[in-house]
Amino acid sequence: MADSVKVALLGCGAVGSEVVRLLHEQADDLTARIGAPVELVGIAVRRAGRDRSDLPVKPDLFTTDALGLVKRDDVDVVIEVVGGIEPARTWLVEALRAGKSVITGNKALLAEDGGSLHDAAAEGGADLYYEASVAGAIPLLRPLRESLHGDRITQVTGIVNGTTNFILSAMDATGAGFSEALEEATALGYAEADPTADVEGFDAAAKAAILASLAFHTRVRAADVYREGITEVSAADVASAKAMGCTIKLLCIAGRTADGGVSVRVHPAMIPRTHPLAGVGEAFNAVFVEAEAAGQLMFYGRGAGGAPTASAVLGDLVAVGRNRLAGVRAASESAYADLAVHPMGEVRTRYHVSLDVADRAGVLASVAGVFASHDVSIATVNQSGRGAEASLVIVTHSAPDSALAATVAELRQLDFVRAVASVLRVEF
């Protein structure tokens, strides 16, 4: 049995420095929980010169040679909190093949090429843990990976991006438009200077791929995920949702399809205010899971931030450390199901369509005819006149997304349709 668990830390930014701090502050508890002390043997950083005297470690632990640190014989576990595809992939594959366990929060790498990491872990007989990669501090992947293994998950619906949830919550609370709410989020530090990855849904799509892979025991990559961001969501959409007793959230939705495949998508959607996900405000994250036997479950908490993410990393470290001392490996990834990922056009969903139309005889009949011609059934219609114009709000029953999209495209061509004011999917 090893006398300590020797850890190499790659990255020392917001998350890395919290990991260092927690390793120091909770050293006694960690020792008791793992069964041996944790020893931080090196920290790889990009720039050598930076002042890190506030961290409770000796200055000679820092190095700019991450690969050299990973290769050291005295490293048992590698914690990576740098992010990005390369050079992180090279480091982690090197570590795993050499039998060193890896803990990472690198969602981009996992969603782009998780297979390479899982294969390297199997090859080296090492553990690969990544609780921090989705929904920060929320213990979510472990339950999906382990606790619900005896059940059959049918759908996972998540609010997994704090920036967009902050923006949409602000729009809902104040009636602000997207740009105004984004400005507020930026000023308060909830949005980055370049918010593209968040507001265009790239971050959520990576997390959706990871969640879908775990939930359905198959491999889903970020490129398989249909993605729409929130930049087109308007104050009018939010008001329209409110009028229906709904709120708008950026959801990632991974579900089983009727023919045994899966669909994975990220887009804004209207959900009823009575749904547990509707109450998830500010920058919080939550993931709603539906399983055949368990029924509805929800996991809620902070999705980002140095300390919450570091908490997830340390939870993984306790598991990995115990496994090493016991000389065992955790349950590896199971991708046995190998399911087909369906394109968005085949996914069944519902649409909320707002039209500005000329207020004259026959308009409603024509509009209804367009829906019918695409085999889309209408659930509710609300018409309100405004002089020569009328506003028509139509909510459909469930239909393939391609049929709904074709319906909207055809509506846009009609001369008496002045504008398609908004199109939003409706969930739950």
Residues catalogued as catalytic: 207
Phi, psi of 194 (to 5 degrees): -105, 100
d(CA 147, CA 19): 26
Site for a copy of itself contains 11 (CB under 8 A)? no
User: Which CB sits closer to a copy of itself, 312 or 403?
Assistant: 312
Which residues have a Cβ under 8 Å from the Cβ of 418 and sit 6 or more positions away?
356, 357, 358, 389
DSSP assignment of 114-178? HHHHHHHHHHHT--EE-GGGSSTTS--HHHHHTGGGGS-EEEEEEE--HHHHHHHHHHHHH---H
Candidate segments 28-36, 120-128, 201-209, 256-264, binder of a copy of itself by CB under 8 A: 28-36
Q: Pattern of binders to a copy of itself over 228-267, x per CB under 8 A?
A: ----------------------------------------
Site for a copy of itself contains 189 (CB under 8 A)? no
Beta partners for 13? none
Contact 386, 335 (CB under 8 A): no
d(CA 172, CA 181): 10
Residues 153-172 that bind a copy of itself (CB under 8 A): none
Q: Is 20 labeled as ligand-binding? A: no
How many C-beta atoms lie closer than 10 Å to residue 166's C-beta? 22
Contact 230, 250 (CB under 8 A): yes
427 vs 241, 251, 350, 396, CA distance in Å?
12, 9, 7, 11
User: Which CB sits closer to a copy of itself, 99 or 177?
Assistant: 99
User: Which CB sits closer to a copy of itself, 176 or 318?
Assistant: 318
Give how far the C-alpha of residue 40 lies from the chain's centroid of Cα atoms, to the nearest Å.
Answer: 30
Contact 48, 54 (CB under 8 A): no
Site for a copy of itself contains 146 (CB under 8 A)? yes
How many C-beta atoms lie closer than 10 Å to residue 381's C-beta? 13
Helix axes 27-34, 14-25, angle to 10 degrees: 80
Site for a copy of itself contains 124 (CB under 8 A)? no
Candidate segments 92-100, 111-119, 130-138, 419-427, binder of a copy of itself by CB under 8 A: 130-138
The residue from 4, 14, 26, 383 that contacts a copy of itself (CB under 8 A) is 26
Q: Which of 212, 299, 210, 205 is nearest to 251 (CA)?
A: 205
**Residue 149 CB, nearest approach to a copy of itself (Å):** 4
70 vs 43, 62, 76, 78, 101, CA distance in Å?
10, 13, 9, 7, 11
Q: Is 10 labeled as ligand-binding? A: yes
User: Which CB sits closer to a copy of itself, 2 or 32?
Assistant: 32
d(CA 39, CA 91): 20
Site for a copy of itself contains 294 (CB under 8 A)? yes
Q: Is 252 labeled as ligand-binding? A: no
**Residue 354 CB, nearest approach to a copy of itself (Å):** 29
Q: Is 12 labeled as ligand-binding? A: yes
The residue from 207, 302, 342, 374 that contacts a copy of itself (CB under 8 A) is 302
**Residue 340 CB, nearest approach to a copy of itself (Å):** 18
Site for a copy of itself contains 217 (CB under 8 A)? yes
SS3 (DSSP) at 271: strand
How many C-beta atoms lie closer than 10 Å to residue 65's C-beta? 12
d(CA 215, CA 204): 16
User: Which CB sits closer to a copy of itself, 265 or 275?
Assistant: 275
Q: Is 14 labeled as ligand-binding? A: yes
Site for a copy of itself contains 148 (CB under 8 A)? yes
Q: Pattern of binders to a copy of itself over 303-342, x per CB under 8 A?
A: --x-xx-xxxxxxxxxx--x---x-xx-x--x-xx-----
The residue from 7, 9, 20, 30 that contacts a copy of itself (CB under 8 A) is 30
User: Which CB sits closer to a copy of itself, 33 or 72?
Assistant: 33
The residue from 59, 189, 295, 385 that contacts a copy of itself (CB under 8 A) is 295
Known binding residues for L-homoserine are: 192
Known binding residues for NADP(+) are: 10-17
- Which spans of this chain sit near a copy of itself (rule: CB under 8 A)? 18, 22, 26, 29-30, 32-33, 131, 137-139, 142-143, 146-152, 217, 276, 279, 291-302, 305, 307-308, 310-319, 322, 326, 328-329, 331, 334, 336-337
